Chain A
Amino acid sequence: MRKLTRLAPLALVAALALTSCSAPAASDEAVTADSAASISYAIWDENQVPALEANIAAFNEIYPNIEVKIDITPWAQYFTKLQTQASGDTLPDVFWMNGPNFQLYAANDQLEPMTNVIDDGSVDPANYVEVLNDLYSYDDVQYGMPKDFDTVALWYNQAILTEAGVATPDDTWTWDDFHTAAKTVSDNLADQGIYGVATGLTGGQEGYYNTILQAGGSILSDDGTTSGYDDPKTIRGLQFWADLIADGSSPNLQQLSDTPHNAWFTSSKTAFFWSGTWSVAELAAASNTLDLNVAPLPQDEKQATVIHGLANVVSANSANKGAAQAFQAYLGSEEAQTLQAEMGAANPAFIGAGQAFLDSVDHFDLQVFIDEADNYAYPFPVSKDTAAWTSIENELLPQAFSGARTVEDVADELATRMNEALAAE
């Protein structure tokens, strides 16, 4: 190390010479149909590019001189790249945001508030699912234009249910009904290696967040400052999954790692699959698609599902803020979101624009997802530093689901460590 320090001054000089900063000049003038600008739009899903290009083409009929260029980065590197860009004040003008990362960017002044576009009437928040407006607001200021939403429901394979002699699920099912059905499938079809249910247990959106809410528990307090994992009702929501694995109604965690949950279901190796709106396209293309359909999640103390959706946000440092906000507002319009639904890209956040989504696959009862959103959807839990405690969830909960430790024991440790992480925010 002695060798390094002797060189430090030299490197410092070299680096200082290189890091002379050039701050972009923000232009806040009002945007008109004649405004000319070029803005970038960062996204992570290649499958949605055709629909977004159609959106851009329609946007250009109103603003012919605003060029929008799509910047696609794979999901695995998306937020790494955003952070790197933020460190150099070169965030894309408009970009996709998700719930877990939103508050981090909003609280650190990286995002442009939507206050002016809401005040001048170009965006009316009342048009969007309210929970999503809340998800993308920080300190009562809205930053994100809701783009789409996901709720979670119970997918099932009718052919397997029939073979196992199990009834088709409906909105009256309780946890007990579900567990009995799943166990029956595992028992009756064990010789074919078929299990009752598979779901993703890394991250709670597909599985345990829903059951925690159904049991009346919570993941995070409403004010986002304390963990809900020491609540006995929350523990009950976790126990549900531990029990399913323990008695063989579900493949164990190792089996779910080696063969992901969606592969179990599309290979007709499980009868049930807890998953969200995002699975529609994949399940519609699966070879067993005609056996598949969807029903509401079973209930415990109450009916519940988490709801999450993406939003389009504008960079606070955008050099073309006016054009970027015009594009952001356009992406929220009924026209743009209807087009998204028609092209099968997403289930729109604009209330009532989802008809095309419902019609997209005839043999799935997709109304289930909309009804859930209208009646008993709860916001995806997020805080300022969501990643800090979701990583603790992912570290500890496998020990509970695998039966290595009791659920109470794990939940207790999780609550303690999560509270420490929340206090550090």
Chain B
Amino acid sequence: MTLRTGSTTEESRAPAAVPPVRPAPKKKQKNFDGYWPWLFVLPTLLGVLGFYIWPIIQTGYLSFTETGPFGGEEFIGLDNYQTMLADGNVGQALINTLVYTVIVLAGIPIALLMANLVNQPGLKFASFYRVLFFMPYIAMPTAVALVWRMIYNGDFGILNWLLSLVGIDGPYWTSTPGFAIVSVGIVGMWASLGFGIIILGAALKNISPEYYEAAQLDGATKWKQFTAITVPLVTPSLFFVTIISVINGFQLFDLLYAIMGQYNPALVQSQSLVYIFYNQAFIQNDKGYAAAIGMLILVVIGIVTFFQFRMQKKWVNYV
């Protein structure tokens, strides 16, 4: 409550359709915070360098070598990358990974709407609904995959049974190329909604009710309030959820494997980049080539993330 008293001039402008924008960083006004920041970041930085960056550098090096199955490598320059460019499976996997990521991203607006619904003031059973929505996020992939396989089963699944009631002859969801990656994407979306709802729900609670009250006085509809107040004010969290969803989407592996199963004729057309990495590194024992695919994943996500950060100035409003 103390916060509410510390009002600023900006506050009196509420409710603005676009919330107050953070003042531009005061560049001229020096000044570094001395050694303090290093105390804060050094432990993390050292751990990250030792446990993560070093492996990435090693992987980068391996991608220019041909490796023996149990170590020992020979420098071969760009050969692995040339093989990769010529490998149709890699291109297909990149497309599949993108399709999956887009489907998971499509879950973000749904998560926002659901978070909005469940965060309405005075809603009864709100915590109950929140727990329901969150449950898929707790799920262990191997356990839910079995259930989803039963739902998707082309001959005996309930999804096709429901469709047959309305006269639609459903496909073999998980074993038809094209359908398969979409089916996996829907499970991915289902599993990650809970994450979006938590983060976005927290952000929603940050919005002062005064904005809405004022908007109501102006006669704004619920939808107008949602688009003009809610969405702009949660953009930092939306930005965060988007970045994380893209990164997680690109790491599709367990879920694909668990849902499609090992006897799937569509597996080759439906594999993801990480799937190819895993297959090359641990099944085919070609760690050099696998490393090149690992670097491809890093570069693709890196580029996408870089542009997201560049673009954020256009749509993300920090308070």
- Which residues does A use to contact B, with CB under 8 Å? 4, 7-8, 10-12, 14-15, 18, 79-80, 83, 86-87, 104, 108, 110, 193, 200-202, 253-261, 385, 387-388, 391, 394-395, 398, 401-402
Complex contact B50–A402 (CB within 8 A): no
Within B249-273, the residues touching A (CB, 8 Å) are 260-268
- B130 within 8 Å of A (CB atoms): no
Docked CA distance A402–B172 (Å): 14
Selected from B49, B154, B260, B283, the residue in CB contact (under 8 A) with A14 is B49
Selected from A11, A257, A395, the residue in CB contact (under 8 A) with B263 is A257
What residues of B have a CB within 8 angstroms of the CB of A395 in the complex?
Answer: 268
Complex contact B49–A7 (CB within 8 A): yes
- Max chain A CB contacts within 10 Å: which of B156, B157, B260, B263? B263
Docked CA distance A4–B261 (Å): 38
Known contacts A8-B57, A260-B261, A87 near B283 by CB under 8 Å: no
6 A-B pairs with the lowest CB-CB distances in the bound complex, closest first: A398-B265, A254-B172, A257-B175, A253-B265, A254-B175, A15-B54
Complex contact B70–A391 (CB within 8 A): no
- B277 within 8 Å of A (CB atoms): no
Other than the known A4-B57, A258-B172, what 5 A-B pairs have Cβ atoms closer than 8 Å?
Answer: A254-B172, A254-B176, A255-B154, A257-B175, A261-B263
- B240 within 8 Å of A (CB atoms): no
Docked CA distance A7–B50 (Å): 11
Give the shortest distance, in Å, between A32 (CB) and chain B (any CB). Answer: 33
Count of chain B residues with a beta carbon within 8 Å of a chain A beta carbon: 37
Docked CA distance A8–B61 (Å): 11
Within B145-182, the residues touching A (CB, 8 Å) are 149, 152-157, 172, 174-176
What residues of A have a CB within 8 angstroms of the CB of B149 in the complex?
Answer: 258
- B129 within 8 Å of A (CB atoms): no
Complex contact B157–A258 (CB within 8 A): yes
Complex contact B284–A257 (CB within 8 A): no
Complex contact B283–A108 (CB within 8 A): no
Docked CA distance A260–B156 (Å): 12
What residues of A have a CB within 8 angstroms of the CB of B174 in the complex?
Answer: 257-258
What residues of A have a CB within 8 angstroms of the CB of B203 in the complex?
Answer: none
Give the shortest distance, in Å, between A256 (CB) and chain B (any CB). Answer: 6
Known contacts A255-B172, A259-B156, A15 near B50 by CB under 8 Å: yes
- Across the interface, name the chain A residue whose C-beta is closest to B279: A391
Complex contact A387–B284 (CB within 8 A): yes
Complex contact A387–B285 (CB within 8 A): yes
Known contacts A14-B54, A15-B54, A388 near B284 by CB under 8 Å: yes
Known contacts A257-B175, A259-B155, A83 near B68 by CB under 8 Å: no
- B56 within 8 Å of A (CB atoms): yes
Known contacts A258-B154, A258-B172, A4 near B56 by CB under 8 Å: yes
Give the shortest distance, in Å, between A279 (CB) and chain B (any CB). Answer: 15
Known contacts A7-B53, A257-B172, A257-B175, A87 near B263 by CB under 8 Å: no
Give the shortest distance, in Å, between B96 (CB) and chain A (any CB). Answer: 15
Complex contact A104–B69 (CB within 8 A): yes
Complex contact A201–B283 (CB within 8 A): no
Docked CA distance A254–B176 (Å): 7
Give the shortest distance, in Å, between B276 (CB) and chain A (any CB). Answer: 11
Complex contact A202–B262 (CB within 8 A): yes
What residues of B have a CB within 8 angstroms of the CB of A253 in the complex?
Answer: 175, 263, 265
Within B43-102, the residues touching A (CB, 8 Å) are 46, 49-50, 53-54, 56-57, 60, 68-71
Docked CA distance A394–B267 (Å): 9
- B282 within 8 Å of A (CB atoms): yes
- Across the interface, name the chain A residue whose C-beta is closest to B46: A14
What residues of B have a CB within 8 angstroms of the CB of A8 in the complex?
Answer: 57
Docked CA distance A193–B156 (Å): 11
Complex contact A104–B283 (CB within 8 A): no
Complex contact A80–B282 (CB within 8 A): yes
Docked CA distance A322–B45 (Å): 45
Docked CA distance A83–B279 (Å): 13
What residues of B have a CB within 8 angstroms of the CB of A402 in the complex?
Answer: 265
Q: Would you mind naming 24 contact pairs between A and B with Cβ atoms under 8 Å apart?
A: A4-B56, A14-B54, A15-B54, A18-B50, A79-B283, A86-B70, A104-B69, A110-B70, A200-B263, A254-B154, A254-B175, A254-B176, A254-B265, A255-B154, A255-B155, A258-B149, A258-B152, A258-B153, A258-B174, A258-B175, A259-B156, A385-B285, A387-B285, A388-B284
